[in-house]
Amino acid sequence: MQPDAVLIQRPAVDFTTFLGLSHQMLGYSPARAADACPRELTDAERFLSCLAAMRDPDAPVGLT
């Protein structure tokens, strides 16, 4: 039986908690490059940029 509708959920990221804990753990803010980016980033781009910055502080911003 084929479903008539598919539920799509958009996850919400609590940036305040995520960034606060990341800053304490890493000693630097993984969001500083995303915050300095001149273009408007989506939540997904911001989140992925922060994850990349956790591994490499000089990682490029956005979905590259």
The yes-or-no verdict on residue 39 having pLDDT over 80 is yes
The proportion of the chain whose per-residue pLDDT surpasses 90, expressed as a percent, equals: 19
Mean pLDDT in residue range 5-24: 77
Closest CA to 52 of 37, 39, 33, 38: 33
The yes-or-no verdict on residue 63 having pLDDT over 80 is no
The yes-or-no verdict on residue 64 having pLDDT over 70 is no
Q: Pick the residue with more confidence: 38 or 18?
A: 38
Q: Pick the residue with more confidence: 50 or 62?
A: 50
